[in-house]
């Protein structure tokens, strides 16, 4: 998924709201192309200089080269741990020379894909040190599991550990950067997590970790990275975008008026039904003595009945890939997926410019969601009634 180039920064006065008339409402329109082949779970896409697209489906553990013009889909590499193989493909990272890195999250490494779509060498991710820059096992456990973005130089950005020294939620979470030419991580910014959104407990050799708030629709800050390495922080209350470029205080965009939407019984049912269809992945760390955890019983997966906030925030901050609610474009915009009532199948995105100003709102077709951007293009996932997914390409409005 491509990240975006930041435009000029302007420090805007706090509390200045965006007039409703400033919002241009447009429709994304009809797709210019759609795959005939369906996918189980499209997680990330990247448009190549040729116009072809690399697509990752971690559920089926495949990486595909999609030619929307020709209507063909060609598998890249295969599942495994040897040359040209990957165990659990997740994110995609674009390098300045046009090649692509596939993040093999289980093996903590990247498989390089050439411009011709052929797999090449591996690049291993360094293990963080235990220094003051947010390293150590807590980072591996709590944050450095998936690339959250990358800039024009191919530097990757991760979310640091959400845990405090006592095992509770940290007051602030580091935003970490890694250059593949270097051996360590740099801290380039921070953001504030919701209260009680992480916990870590240990009993014997077993570690139990919870990451994420237990209350649905909790207002949460999120972030994205620009092509030049600047960080866009998106706040839910008040709703606004701020830019952090590392050279001074954040440049705050205007406040966007928002009237909280009441959480209804239909909203609660939609969340519970969604949880029953999508089971989370549970990772067991440690075991009953010894290095291999032999003889340890597999933990029982239990999903508690969710709790709910009284109202919805303007957006629900979700992780990365296909679930990311905040995305960027190569020409410097931030697109934020707005919350909507249960049963409303038409998504809409608020679009902010490089100063943090809301400039337009874009509506999509029913049952679609944006997954990435290319050069003047928008890529979306369409989900049919059987929960099968199709990749679509649109002209960017």
Topology of 20-130+140-395 in CATH? Answer: Neuraminidase (2.120.10)
165's tokens: 């020294």
Q: Which of 129-133, 211-215, 310-314 has the lowest mean pLDDT?
A: 129-133
Q: Residue 144: its pLDDT value, please?
A: 56
- Which residue, 272, 343, 366, 295, is CA-closest to 27? 366
Report d(CA 310, CA 318) in Å as an integer. 19
Listed ranges 72-76, 104-108, 153-157, 241-245; the one with the highest mean pLDDT: 72-76
Structure confidence at residue 290 (pLDDT) = 34
Per-residue pLDDT at 291: 34
Q: Evaluate if residue 299 carries a pLDDT over 50.
A: no
State the average pLDDT over residues 111-123. 94
pLDDT of the residue at 386 = 92
- Reply yes or no on whether the pLDDT at 58 is more than 80: yes
Per-residue pLDDT, 128: 57
Residue 90 zone, left/alpha/beta (φ > 0; ψ -120 to 50; rest) = alpha
Predicted confidence at residue 61, as pLDDT, reads 93
pLDDT of residue 322: 64
pLDDT tens sequence across 252-285: 999 999 999 999 999 999 888 877 766 444 433 3
pLDDT at 310 over 60: yes
Mean pLDDT of 236-247: 88
**Region of poorest pLDDT, from 91-95, 140-144, 298-302, 327-331:** 298-302
Give the Cα separation of 254 and 13 in Å (integer): 7
Which sequence spans correspond to the domains of the chain? 20-130+140-395
The CA–CA distances, whole Å, from 63 to 45, 87, 105 equal 10, 11, 13
Q: Which residues are 91's β-sheet partners?
A: none
Q: What is the 3-state secondary structure (H, E, C) of 266-307?
A: HHHHHHHHHHHHCCCCCCCECCCCCCCCCCCCCCCCCCCCCE
Answer whether residue 119 shows pLDDT above 90. Answer: yes
Mean pLDDT, the chain, whole residue set = 82
pLDDT at residue number 376: 93
């Amino acid at each position: 998924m491509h990240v975006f180039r930041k435009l000029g920064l302007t420090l805007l006065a706090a509390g200045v709201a965006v007039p409703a008339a400033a919002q241009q409402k447009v429709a994304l329109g009809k797709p210019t192309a759609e795959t005939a082949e369906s996918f189980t779970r499209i997680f990330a896409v990247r448009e190549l200089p040729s116009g072809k697209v690399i697509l990752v489906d971690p559920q089926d553990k495949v990486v595909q080269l999609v030619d929307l013009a020709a209507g063909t889909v060609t598998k890249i590499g295969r599942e495994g741990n040897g040359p040209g193989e990957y165990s659990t493909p997740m994110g995609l990272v674009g390098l300045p020379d046009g090649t692509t890195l596939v993040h093999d999250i289980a093996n903590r490494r990247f498989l390089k894909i050439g411009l011709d779509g052929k797999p090449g060498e591996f690049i291993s991710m360094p293990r963080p040190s235990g220094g003051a820059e947010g390293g150590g096992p807590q980072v591996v456990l709590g944050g450095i599991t998936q690339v959250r973005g990358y800039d024009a130089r191919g530097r990757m950005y991760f979310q640091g550990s959400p845990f405090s020294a006592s095992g509770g939620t940290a007051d602030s979470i580091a935003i970490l950067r890694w250059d593949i030419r270097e051996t360590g991580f740099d801290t380039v910014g921070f953001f504030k997590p919701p209260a009680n959104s992480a916990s870590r407990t240990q009993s014997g050799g077993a570690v139990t970790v919870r990451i994420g708030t237990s209350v649905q629709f909790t207002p949460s800050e999120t972030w994205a990275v620009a092509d030049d390495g600047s960080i866009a922080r998106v706040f839910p209350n008040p709703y606004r975008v701020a830019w952090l470029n590392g050279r001074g205080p954040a440049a705050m965009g205007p406040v966007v008026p928002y009237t909280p939407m009441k959480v209804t019984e239909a909203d609660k049912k939609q969340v519970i039904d969604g949880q029953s269809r999508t089971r989370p992945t549970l990772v067991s760390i440690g075991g009953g003595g010894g290095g291999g955890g032999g003889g340890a019983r597999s933990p029982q997966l239990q999903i508690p009945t969710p709790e709910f906030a009284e109202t919805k925030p303007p957006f629900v901050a979700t992780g990365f890939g296909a679930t990311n609610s905040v995305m960027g474009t190569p020409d410097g915009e931030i697109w934020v997926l707005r919350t909507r009532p249960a049963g409303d199948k038409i998504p809409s995105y608020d679009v902010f410019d490089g100063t943090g100003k809301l400039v337009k709102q874009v509506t999509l077709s029913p049952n679609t969601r944006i997954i990435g951007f290319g050069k003047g293009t928008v890529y979306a996932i369409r989900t049919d009634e059987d929960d099968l997914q199709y990749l679509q390409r649109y002209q960017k409005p």
